[in-house]
Amino acid sequence: MVVIRVPAPLRAYTGGAREIEVQGKTVASALSDLASRHPALRPHLFDDRGDLRPFVNLFLNEEDVRMLQGTATPLDENDRLMIVPSIAGGSSAADSLRPVDHAALRTNQAMIIGVLLGAFISDGTWLVLLVSLILALGSLTGRPGFLPLYRILRSARLFKPDVVPDHPEPHRFAQALGSAFLLAGWLALAVGLEAAGWALAWIVIALAALNLFAGLCIGCLVYYWLSRIGAPGFSKSPPEGARPGRRPPAASGTI
């Protein structure tokens, strides 16, 4: 069944439930089923004409449904919808939390490790450049570089989304940092500095493994440290209840 995550301001109308399993083949039918189960919630989601209120943002896994097919977006059995209400005014850290699929992030880390290990074993220096470019593209688009592969695995029901309210910016920075290390490594390899080049690649492998197996994102930690000292362009603070560089708790913030 599809799971809908209810934000904290609306949980008073769902008996305190944070996540509710619903039935529906589209976003619209899933919301309709949610409203039928919790009628007091309906006026907070829909206007008098039955249209979704403009301040209610919906994310399917980690994508805004406005960027898909709106409420007509089809749903798969293991999809997760997240309701994110817009907050007028204020500048608290919770205001800018977005749905981030940590299962996609873990897939990204696993692919980084796998491809770079393959590059080292086969002496495939071009793979180092390839991973660098994939991570750079992911950082620019604000998505995990290996997201297409994750979507294939998810559609095959090999993975379930692990969507939590989080800041996407530290994860973008972490990808950019990894890309920079690998680009420097590839350049070193290209001019014959093999020890230095592979050392940089192994640093990225180690950081990806630390993230994947220990749940600690060093790139995110660096981002929050830069934010703390007021570095330009680094404005986010860790979500409430989360340690810097760690996965936020599922109930983090006001979402």
DSSP sequence for 61-76 = TTEEGGGTTGGG-B--
- Residue 44 has a pLDDT of 84
pLDDT digits (tens, 9 = 90+) for 98-123: 778 899 999 999 999 999 999 999 99
Is 0.85 topped by the overall pTM? no
**Inter-residue long-range contacts of 114-123, CB under 8 Å, 24+ positions, other chains counted:** 116/182, 116/201, 116/202, 116/204, 116/205, 116/208, 117/205, 119/201, 120/198, 120/201, 120/202
pLDDT band per the 50, 70, 90 thresholds, residue 250: low
Spatial CA neighbour of 204 closest among 103, 102, 100, 130: 130
> What's the rounded mean pLDDT across residues 87-93?
43
Residues forming beta bridges with residue 82, ordered by sequence position: 5, 59
> Domains of the chain (ranges plus CATH)?
2-86 (3.10.20.30), 99-228 (no CATH)
Distance between CA 152 and CA 157 in Å, rounded?
Answer: 9
For the chain, the helix, strand and coil percentages under 3-state DSSP, each to the nearest 5: 55, 15, 35
> What's the rounded mean pLDDT across residues 202-223?
96
Is the predicted pLDDT of residue 7 greater than 50, yes or no? yes
User: Maximum Cα–Cα distance for the chain, whole Å?
Assistant: 69
> Cα 187 to chain center, whole Å?
30
Placement of tokens 């249209």 in the chain: 51
% of the chain beyond a pLDDT of 70: 93
DSSP sequence for 76-124 = -TT-EEEEEE---S---GGGG-EEEEHHHHHHHHHHHHHHHHHHHHHT-
